[in-house]
Amino acid sequence: MPKQPKNSPLTILNHEFTIIELRADESSDPTGELELSTDVSIGTNADDKLLRACKLSVQFSSSNEDAPAPYCGKITINGMFRISESYAEHRRDQLIEVTATSILYGACREMLANLTARSSHGMLSLPSVSFFDPAKAPTKKAVKKTTASKKRPAKKAAKKTTRKPKSSQ
Close Cβ partners of 100 (under 8 Å, ≥ 6 residues apart): 10, 12, 42, 52, 54, 79, 81
Residue type, 45: N
Tell me, what CATH number does 33's domain have? 3.10.420.10
User: Domain for residue 90, yes or no?
Assistant: yes
Is 113 a domain residue? yes
Whether the predicted pLDDT of 163 surpasses 50: no
Kindly give, in sequence order, each residue whose CB lies less than 8 Å from that of residue 31, ignoring residues fewer than 6 positions away: 67
- Provide the mean pLDDT of the chain: 86
Domain-embedded: residue 24: yes
Q: How far apart are CA 11 and CA 83, in angstroms?
A: 6
| Residue 93, in any domain of the structure | yes
Residue 22 domain-assigned?
Answer: yes
Please write the tens of the pLDDT for every residue from 85-120.
999 999 999 999 999 999 999 999 999 999 999 999
For the cut 80, the answer to whether the pLDDT of residue 147 exceeds it is: no
Q: Give me the domain span that covers residue 64.
A: 10-121
Write down the pLDDT at residue 140. Answer: 63
Q: Give residue-wise pLDDT tens across range 41-54.
A: 999 999 999 999 99
95 occurs within a structural domain: yes
pTM for this model (two decimals): 0.79
Considering the domain boundaries, does residue 49 fall inside one? yes
Looking at residue 1, its pLDDT comes to: 81
pLDDT higher for 168 or 25?
A: 25
* Residues 6+ positions from 139 with CB-CB distance below 8 Å: none
Q: Which residue in 76, 87, 99, 92 sits closest to 15, CA to CA?
A: 76
Domain count, the chain: 1
Residue 158 included in any domain: no
